[in-house]
Amino acid sequence: MRARDLAEPYVSVSTEADAIEAVRLLVERRLPGLLVTDSAGQPYAALPACDVVRTLVPGYVQEDRGLAGVIDEPHADRLCHALRGRTVADCLPVGRPFLSTAGPDWTAVELAEVMARSRSPLIAVVERPTGEPVRLLGVVTATRLLERLLQTV
């Protein structure tokens, strides 16, 4: 089983997309994360749902988790308000965005190793033709990989 056989079309959003709309997409489709593309439509980053959640939690609470207990429920219920006016790029981790990629001939074990090491729920399967832009063949999600691996049990 090769990456090209596991890759499926996948939802992507631009770095400039509205963060609230991106979260709605995550929720409505129950996705583990989003594939983020740059302004040219090229694969740029993976945005796991847990990173979006991290964006919602105030920095002071992340630094001292004991403060989470002092935020009352009405305020906690409004955490998504922090996304107003923000883009998907604002939700990406600080520093260089991360996107796990695999070649079309990668095996299931190679895919699993990258997922485990990067803790990413998705891997973009790409071709890199010489002198041409990267071509996205699809995405392998952790769920898809596990589904195929379970077929042998």
CATH number at residue 58: 3.10.580.10
Query: Greater confidence, 114 or 75?
Result: 114
Q: Provide the pLDDT for residue 83.
A: 86
Strand ranges for the chain from DSSP E: 12-14, 33-37, 43-48, 101-102, 122-127, 135-141
User: Which token pair is 113?
Assistant: 């190793």
pLDDT at residue 118 tops 90: no
The gap from C-alpha 76 to its chain's centroid, in whole angstroms, comes to: 24
pTM assigned to the model: 0.82
Number of compact structural domains in the chain: 1
- Quote the domain boundaries for residue 58: 3-150
Residue with tokens 């990413």: 120
- From CA 25, how far away is CA 21, in angstroms rounded? 6
Q: Provide the pLDDT for residue 63.
A: 86
List, for residues 33-75, the tens digit of each pLDDT value. Answer: 999 998 888 889 999 888 888 888 888 888 888 877 877 777 7
